[in-house]
Structure 1
Amino acid sequence: MQPLIAPPRLVATRAVASKAAPAPARAEAKAEAPRRDPAPSRAAYRWHRLWLTPLFRTLMRVGLPAFVIVMGLGLYLGNADRRAALTGHFTDLRAALEQRPEFMVSLMSIDGATPALADAIRKVAAVPLPKSSFDIDLLALRDRIATLDAVATADVRVKSGGVLQIRITERVPAVVLRKPDALELLDASGHRVALVLARADRPDLPLLAGDGAAKAVPEALQIIAAAGPLVPRLRGLVRMGDRRWDIVLDRDQRILLPATDPVKALERILALDKAENLLARDILTVDLRLQERPVLRLAPNALREMRRANGIETVESSL
């Protein structure tokens, strides 16, 4: 008895049927699956809206990287050994840079000063050379030099070639001030320039004396300039009560000037002297404090002669 075998056509038909069967199932599955919504999710929508904010974009692009960098530096520098190593590295680097030959100062040049003043400037500056230009405080050096009486202005700078250049404007003495214990040279503004040992050291300069004379040097120079023909006879000016001047001439003559407009009063007495030869007479003082009524004080001999000419007899008594 032979086994039953299906016909070949029947087997092929069943195979084709088995392959074609899943296609309707897949189509049905696709038909049953929900369609994907193209709209963004709520989280994505909020993120996009937030990103459109300028402040948020700035924080994300600048603030966040800066925060990360600062945090990283803080964590790195939080270690004391790391800080010490970093500080030592920068210190060595700076020292190597400052000690380079092109930054070293080896010479000092002083312009505009007399030899005596130049020596005083070198002592006050006290800059040991050679020295790095980074170690020289130019402002402090200029202030120290400006403390010298004879220095009006000072300019300090480092020139190429390692030269420390100091330019000085020296004060020019204009008058000699007599004090109870010393003689001083003053410039035209009344600032002290130097000390002198004797009046004979500067006979070319006028002499001033009295309280407050240093503060009134400009006015005194105006009076001396207006004195004109009296300058050869001028011995000096004395400040009286810190408010006015007396002109002291040879032969112990004095001209008492007023507190206001002394130059104008002096010009009046010079005109009178030119017309009457007044100051060549035996007169002790010419008092111009009251400009409306000048007063003359005669010498004793001239006073006696005047009284005798007027018929006034005087009796001299001796004690």
Structure 2
Amino acid sequence: MRQMTQRADPAPSRLTYRFERMMLTPLFRFALRVVLPFGLTALSAGIWFSDQDRRDNINMVIDDVRTSIVERPEFMVKAMAIEGASASVADDIREILPVDFPVSSFDLSLEDMKETVVGLSPVKAASLRVRPGGVLQITVAERTPVMLWRMRDGLHLVDAEGFVVAQAAGRDAYPELPVMAGEGADQATAEAMTLMRAAGPLTPRVRGLVRVGARRWDVVLDRGQRIMLPEVGAVAALEHVAALSQVHEMLERDLSVVDMRLGDRPTIRIAERSVQAWWRIRETRVGLE
């Protein structure tokens, strides 16, 4: 009797069938080929770096490599050069930027240093760069004072944008600059400069401008005279007074105030001494009669 040979079942096992079905899923293939190797690598690295001595050794190697790069001679900054700044401003810059030379250019934050320099009142703009040869170049554009602002603590220099540049040593130190006073005068510096240009023939007699109520200007002349300008149309009003003074010599008379706040026609106020003199003359005439 012949013995029957058993043939192997060609059908895959249940586990193999499920694995092949899962391999048809893109997400499973991605997890098997990417996520699993990455996770095993991260786990191995975490176990290896869990040792404090190994971490210290790695940090020392990294620090040595960084130091060997950043301290190369071509990256070292040895000096500071400042252009466009006055002596006092240059001294202030060196004081607020206490850089210990030599220093690596990698250790300098030029943007932060620029913000510090521009934070100085006299500085309008600044640029910083490291020149070849290891020189930190600081180029400064200073604010140009155009007015003197009289405050309670003294005179201050103000630029065309209304920024207070510095405190003035005294009026005699800046004889070419006009003087303004009053609350909020620094916020209307541009208008004040326009009024100074509009004064025309009155310019030699102008002693300053006073901001009244933070909304309008008074022009102060020599001999104690004052031109009260309106809140709107101040330039036109001042030009009108200058024309009247030039044609009719209005301001050559003994006036104390020319009020332009109520339209184009000026309202004048006679000086007190002239009023008293007029009353004396009148009383004398009455007595003679």
Whether the TM-score (by the shorter chain) exceeds 0.5 is: yes
2:43 maps to which residue?
71
1:91-139 Cα distance to aligned partner (Å, 9 max, x none): 2222222211111001212122223322222222121211111222323
Q: In the alignment, which of 239, 246, 269 is matched to residue 297 of structure 1?
A: 269
Cα deviation, residue 254, structure 1: 0.6
The 5 Å alignment of 1:147-162 reads 147-162=119-134
Q: Of the two structures, which has the highest relative contact order with CA contacts closer than 8 Å and spacing of 6 or more?
A: 2
Whether 1:233 aligns to 2:216 is: no
1:270 aligns to 2:233 (yes or no): no
Structure 2 counterpart of 1:214: 186
Percent identity between matched residues is 44
Deviations 1:45-90 (A, max 9, x none): 2212211211111111211111011101111111111112222222
Q: Provide structure 2 residue ranges, at least 5 long, that are not aligned to the other structure.
A: 285-289
Q: Who wins on radius of gyration, i.e. which is larger?
A: 1
* Structure 1 spans left out of the alignment, 5+ residues: 1-24
Letter in 2 for 1:280: E
SS in 2 for 1:313: helix
User: Is 1:41 equivalent to 2:16 in the alignment?
Assistant: no
Partner amino acid, structure 1, of 2:87: P
The letter of the residue matching 1:313 is R
1:17-69 Cα distance to aligned partner (Å, 9 max, x none): xxxxxxxx8xx44xx33444444333222212211211111111211111011
| Aligned residue identity for 1:161 | G
- State the distance in 1 between where 2:135 and 2:33 align: 50
Counterpart in 1 of 2:54? 82
Matched, 1:61 2:33: yes
In the alignment, structure 1 residue 287 sits paired with structure 2 residue 267: no
Q: CA deviation at 1:156?
A: 1.8
Kept in 1: contact 2:76–2:104 (CA 8 A): yes
Q: Secondary structure at 2:282's aligned position in 1?
A: coil
Q: Is the 8 A contact 2:237 2:260 kept in 1?
A: yes
Counterparts of 1:225 and 1:45 in 2: how far apart (Å)?
96
Secondary structure (helix, strand or coil) at the match of 1:174 reads: strand
Q: Tell me how many residue pairs correspond in the alignment.
A: 285
Which aligned pairs between 1:1-319 and structure 2 lie closer than 5 A?
A: 28-29=2-3, 32-291=4-263, 294-300=266-272, 302-303=274-275, 313-314=282-283
